[in-house]
């Protein structure tokens, strides 16, 4: 029997600048013994590594493996950091890190202004010595980061953006020094100090703008982290005491004051309140809570001081699961990224080759070495693959972040990319399209009886019952403003129903089977009972024992009640919206066909066209999903996550809808690629929409990233692009890719 264990470790990485850096770090991590998979994300500056260990996955083994990974990152020329360093760091000022750019602009301006003057007929050219003194600090002090990172790349026999910038600008600076030192005394020669200085400054500016955009893409996770309070009010042996949240344990009782965030998941024990769960579910309206209601860590207590009992803390809370899901999605690579990785792995060596060919081509064709070198420098500068490395992760981070804000958790990039290809949606019925709790659908009374009076009596009889049908009757009575009457002598008949006295009436309320056993005559309502049962409703009878005038009692029917699941308020609109998108729709149900088809018609589904698959056990649902996939459909399965896990996992994309009572949510999060944090069927179309928009942004970004290089490199090689414009275009490419991705943050369901 094998003792091997699998570990998944996260590590932060500082100093990466482009797609080639990503490829290099991944190669370094994969060389560590035991590593089976390594995924590096440029936008989050992190890596996720899967390792196989011969020993059990203890804390010591994890620590040792983490140390090996950190050393591999450092040996590759980058800075290992804590996995959550980027997220947990305080939000910096928007001007943080701008000082080097400011100095670069100060030193470069006197070099560039004379060029502008030449265009207007003024000759302000600075002496060569002044140009040298202004350009050299920019090149070797402000640009030192490019030399350090480029040197590490060379040591590892690879290349990156920094190496291209370092080689290109150093060539321009060295050429200027050589032209200055070899010029005839008193001769005015054109130097290129301003080009190298301005390129370094523009690249630094581009990286600064890019860093600001990165902070915006991580804002979703930062906001989720900020939901965790620092202190909890614990009811201990000595009364109420404040303790750090990390010390709270399951079973503890906590006081939560108005306006405070809940520190853990739990159950409300005392008090009533309204809770703002918008950051978790996307639901804008506060949710009423009363004793017995579930509470979620991170949500905000309303106006009531309440007492709760803790059910889950730390990593086991719903908030922690949500954070982990969003982080997983943002750390993952979409399948389309594999093409980018393959290109990035050979990009820098190819660019160096093109630059060398440009130099030799111009020089051997009779042009000056000076012009040949300038064109080669322009090739090196324009070719920096920053935008290529950011194109996919920036869009994924922005898309999954804004989706999470609205209660849509996208578990991985593969689900994101597959969602826009879906052509078939299969819904589980109970709890997904329907409320999932019985509701009093109809009530038929015998002639001469008042419905309001009988409903009031039935609710009063069941006022102390927790049975689902009793709760449905009580809800209907409350909705009609009925006050409960005093009930006495209540007794339950197991599996049958209830009996007792309400305001002088000796009542029985229970199943039709019980009434048949008691030989109750159904009379004029018998046909109605059969119709309701044929439609899949559960039918109960309300009867009364009355004197028969001969000293005995007779059992008389007063009313029939039909119970059934009700469609969710937005379900029909959601179905209509998906149909308008051209999607095939199916409903899976374990109910009998009559009940399933009756509900389907209420929802706008078409049983006559085969859109209802009824009488299926939970174990059969996955078989139906696989049958549709084998027929060539690309299937999205939507379920409530309790008994639908196999079907969710078997579909091309699984979409789990969290239950109102929280049950099955953990199962849903693990089985499905996408989790809807509130039970609103309209979110299905919203999830498909944000997925399609995100994939569209990825493709747009990749197009522009490739387009910049595909157009820029030939232009530079042919002499149509000087190094300064090449540097500006390269910086612009990264910023435009990040800016395009950030447009997703404006999305609304």
Positions marked active-site: 428
Q: What angle do CA 302, 305, 311 make, to 5 degrees?
A: 90
Q: Using alpha carbons, select from 82, 71, 78 the residue that is nearest to residue 33.
A: 71
**Residue 577, token pair as written in the block:** 């919206």
Q: Which residues of 505-542 are buried (b: 16+ CB within 10 A; e: fewer)?
A: bbbbbbbbebbeeeebebeebeeebeebbebbbbbbbb
34-39: long-range contacts, CB 8 A cutoff, minimum separation 24: 34/65, 35/69, 36/6, 39/331, 39/332, 39/333
Tokens standing for residue 42: 């440029």
Q: Is 303 helix (H, G, I), strand (E, B) or coil?
A: coil
CA pair distance 459, 486, nearest whole angstrom: 11
Please name the residue ranges forming H helices in 612-744: 618-630, 645-650, 665-671, 682-717, 723-742
Rg (CA), the chain: 35
Phi first, then psi: give them for residue 410, nearest 5 degrees.
-100, 115
Confirm if 706 and 692 have CB atoms less than 8 A apart: no
DSSP codes, 709-748: HHHHHHHHHTT-S-HHHHHHHHHHHHHHHHHHHHGGGG--
Judged by DSSP in three states, 617 sits in coil
Strand-pair category, 424-428 with 635-639: parallel
First to last CA, the chain: 51
Measured torsion, CA atoms of residues 192, 194, 195, 200, in degrees rounded to the nearest 10? 130
Q: In which residue are the tokens 């981070």 written? A: 397
Helix (H/G/I), strand (E/B), else coil: 227? coil
Structure tokens, 35: 């590593």
Q: Which residues pair with 746 in a beta bridge?
A: none
Cα 262 → chain centroid: 22
Per-residue tokens: 681: 């069927």
The set of residues, in sequence order, having a beta carbon less than 8 Å from that of 435 and lying 6+ positions away, is: 565, 566, 567, 568
CB 299 within 8 A of CB 224: no
Alpha-carbon 49 to chain mean position: 20
């Amino acid at each position: 029997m094998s003792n091997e264990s699998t570990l998944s470790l996260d590590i932060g990485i500082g100093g990466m600048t482009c797609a080639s850096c990503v490829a290099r770090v991944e190669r370094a991590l994969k060389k560590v013994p035991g590593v089976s998979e390594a995924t590096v994300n440029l936008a989050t500056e992190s890596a996720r590594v899967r390792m196989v260990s011969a020993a059990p996955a203890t804390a010591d083994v994890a620590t040792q493996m983490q140390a090996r990974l950190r050393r591999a990152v450092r040996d590759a020329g980058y800075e290992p950091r804590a996995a959550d360093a980027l997220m947990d760091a305080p939000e910096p000022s928007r001007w943080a890190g701008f000082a080097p750019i400011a100095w670069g602009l100060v030193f470069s301006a006197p070099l560039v202004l004379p060029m502008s003057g030449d265009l207007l007929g003024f000759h302000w050219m600075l002496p060569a010595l002044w140009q040298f003194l202004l350009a050299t600090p920019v090149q070797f002090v402000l640009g030192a980061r490019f030399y350090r990172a480029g040197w590490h790349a060379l040591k590892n026999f690879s290349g990156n953006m920094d190496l291209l910038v370092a080689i290109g600008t150093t060539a321009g600076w060295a050429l200027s020094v050589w032209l200055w030192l070899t010029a005839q005394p008193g001769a005015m020669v054109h130097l290129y100090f301003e080009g190298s200085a301005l390129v370094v400054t523009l690249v630094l500016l581009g990286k600064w703008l890019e860093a600001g955009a990165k902070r915006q893409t991580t804002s979703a996770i930062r906001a989720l982290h900020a939901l965790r309070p620092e202190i909890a009010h614990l009811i201990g042996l000595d009364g109420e005491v404040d303790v750090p949240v990390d010390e709270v344990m399951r079973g503890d009782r906590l006081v939560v004051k108005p306006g405070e965030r809940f520190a853990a998941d739990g159950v409300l024990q005392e008090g009533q309140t309204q809770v703002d769960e918008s950051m978790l579910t996307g639901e804008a309206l506060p949710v009423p809570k009363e004793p017995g209601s579930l509470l979620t860590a991170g949500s905000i207590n309303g106006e009531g001081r309440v007492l709760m009992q803790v059910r889950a803390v730390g990593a086991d809370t719903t908030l922690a699961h949500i954070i982990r899901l969003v982080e997983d999605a943002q750390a993952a690579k979409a399948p389309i990224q594999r093409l980018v990785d393959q290109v990035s792995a050979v990009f820098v060596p190819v660019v160096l080759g093109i630059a060398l060919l440009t130099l030799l081509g111009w020089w051997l064709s009779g042009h000056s070495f000076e012009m040949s070198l300038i064109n080669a420098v322009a090739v090196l500068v324009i070719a920096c693959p920053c935008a290529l490395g950011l194109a996919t992760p920036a869009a994924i981070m922005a898309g999954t972040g804004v989706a999470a804000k609205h209660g849509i958790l996208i578990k991985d990039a593969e689900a994101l990319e597959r969602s826009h290809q879906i052509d078939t949606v299969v819904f589980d019925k109970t709890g997904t399209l329907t409320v999932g709790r019985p509701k009093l659908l109809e009530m038929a009374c015998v002639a001469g009886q008042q419905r309001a009076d009988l409903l009031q009596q039935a609710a009063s009889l069941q006022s102390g019952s927790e049975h689902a049908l009793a709760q449905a009757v009580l809800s209907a009575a409350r909705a009609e403003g009925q006050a409960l009457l005093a009930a006495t002598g209540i007794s339950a008949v197991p599996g049958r129903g209830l009996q007792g006295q309400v305001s002088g009436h000796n009542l029985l309320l229970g199943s039709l089977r019980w009434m048949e056993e008691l030989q109750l005559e159904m009379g004029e309502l018998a046909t109605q009972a059969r119709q309701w049962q044929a439609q899949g409703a559960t039918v109960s009878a309300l009867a009364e024992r009355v004197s028969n005038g001969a000293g005995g009692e007779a059992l008389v029917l007063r009313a029939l009640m039909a119970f059934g699941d009700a469609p969710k308020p937005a379900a029909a609109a959601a179905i209509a919206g998906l149909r308008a998108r051209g999607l095939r729709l199916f409903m899976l149900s374990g109910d009998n066909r009559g009940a399933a088809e009756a509900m389907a018609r209420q929802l706008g589904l078409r049983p006559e066209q085969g859109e209802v698959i009824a009488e299926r056990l939970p174990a059969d649902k996955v078989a139906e999903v696989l049958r549709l996939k084998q027929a060539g459909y690309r299937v999205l399965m939507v379920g409530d996550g309790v008994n639908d896990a196999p079907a969710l996992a078997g579909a091309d994309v699984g979409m789990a809808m969290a239950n109102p009572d929280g049950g099955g949510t953990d199962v849903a999060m693990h089985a499905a690629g996408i989790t809807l944090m509130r039970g609103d069927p309209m979110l299905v179309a919203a999830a498909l929409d944000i997925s399609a928009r995100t994939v569209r942004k990825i493709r747009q970004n990749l197009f522009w990233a490739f387009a910049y290089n595909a157009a820029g490199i030939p232009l530079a090689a042919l002499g149509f692009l000087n190094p300064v414009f090449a540097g500006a275009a390269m910086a612009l490419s990264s910023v435009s890719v990040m800016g395009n991705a950030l447009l997703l943050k404006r999305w609304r369901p």
